Structure 1
Amino acid sequence: MGGEGKVFTLAEVSVHNTPQDCWLIINEKVYDVTKFLEDHPGGDEVLLSATGKDATDDFEDVGHSDSARDMMKEYYVGEIDASTIPKKTKYIPPKQPHYNQDKTSEFIIKLLQFLVPLAILGLAVGIRFYTKTT
């Protein structure tokens, strides 16, 4: 193609997002896959949904064959200016208090420590009352 070696920004590549003009960014390289849309085994929607962003993860997650990777050479149009692609941030889950599974058993023990002596006291009073009345 006529653009080999050219460096594009993300904004420049992002405008190529239609079935008539579809460009992808994979491994910091830019590919014009417009002619391949109809032949793509996953359908054109897969390729169109990957426009306007770095599609490297999408491409790698599928596990493309060596022949598919070789085929990419004919669609190559240039490189992407990596400074125009937003950096991926690693997801860090919010801090949460440690969950103590033993809280339930601690509650049951404290409840029993209160109820068992109370039951014993009640039983003692009941026996004493019963023996006095008979």
Structure 2
Amino acid sequence: MGADGKVYTLEEVSQHRSSKDCWLIIGGKVYDLTKFMEDHPGGDEVLLSATGKDATDDFEDVGHSSSARAMMDEFYIGEIDASTIPKKVKYAPPKQPHYNQDKTTEFIIKLLQFLVPLAILGLAVGIRFYTKSTS
């Protein structure tokens, strides 16, 4: 099982972020991948970019083989103190105020609903009156 089952904090693990000293947190466990840096198929940049945080999602997203997962045992050095890892905050979009697209008030809309038909009726009566008087 690797080291003596030591428990590390995120701060302790974060101090190991170079190609000559690289530790990762995967699945609540701490791995010293320094000896594996040159052999990693994705290159050492991939490993270095996952240091200083919980790299579990990065590891799972790649879809490592069962042999790669078995190989991890030889690099295991201890557990991570989960209380030292910041909790992921789910994004919640800010509340938006109700948006009146045409920017007119309800009073104006109701007034137009009354006046437009009245104007059409007045126009029709005016046309009818004008056409009768000229005949």
**What TM-score, normalized by structure 2, do the two folds share?**
0.76
Distance 1:88 1:114, change over 3 A: same
CA drift at 1:54: 0.8
Q: Displacement of 1:121 after TM fit?
A: 2.2
**18-27 or 114-123, which moves further after superposition?**
114-123
C-alpha distance in structure 2 between counterparts of 1:113 and 1:74, whole Å: 82
1:92-107 superposed matches below 5 A: 92-96=92-96
Structure 1 gap ranges (5+): 101-105
Q: CA 1:95/1:42 → structure 2, altered by over 3 Å: closer, same or farther?
A: same
More helix by percentage: 1
Whole-Å separation in 2 of the counterparts to 1:87 and 1:27:
15
Q: 2:60 aligns to what?
A: 60
Contact kept? 1:4, 1:76, Cα under 8 Å? no
Which residue of the partner structure matches residue 127 of structure 2?
A: 126
Q: Distance in 2 between matches of 1:113 and 1:62?
A: 65
Cα distance in 2, alignment partners of residues 42 and 124 from structure 1: 84
- Report the residue type matching 2:58 in the other structure: D
Aligned length: 128
In structure 1, what is the equivalent of residue 90 of structure 2? 90
What TM-score, normalized to structure 1?
0.76
Q: Is the 8 A contact 2:2 2:74 kept in 1?
A: no
Match of 2:36 in 1: 36
Unaligned segments of structure 2, at least 5 residues: 101-105
Identity between Structure 1 and Structure 2 (%): 67
Report the CA distance shift for 1:61/1:99 in structure 2 as closer, same or farther (over 3 A): farther
Distance in 1 of aligned mates of 2:48 and 2:117: 70
CA apart distance, 1:21:
1.1
Deviation at 1:58, TM superposition (A): 1.3
Moved more, 48-57 or 3-12: 3-12
Q: 2: distance between equivalents of 1:129 and 1:91?
A: 67
Secondary structure of the corresponding residue to residue 39 of structure 1: coil
Please report the RMSD computed on the Cα atoms of aligned residues, expressed in angstroms: 3.0
Report if the CA contact (8 A) 2:2-2:76 is conserved: no
1:57-107 CA-to-partner distances (Å, cap 9, x unmatched) read 11112222211111111111111111211122333333345789xxxxx9x
**TM-superposition CA deviations, 1:98-129 (whole Å, max 9, x none):** 789xxxxx9xx966665344223212212312
Match of 1:103 in 2: none
Provide the residue aligned with 2:76 in structure 1: 76
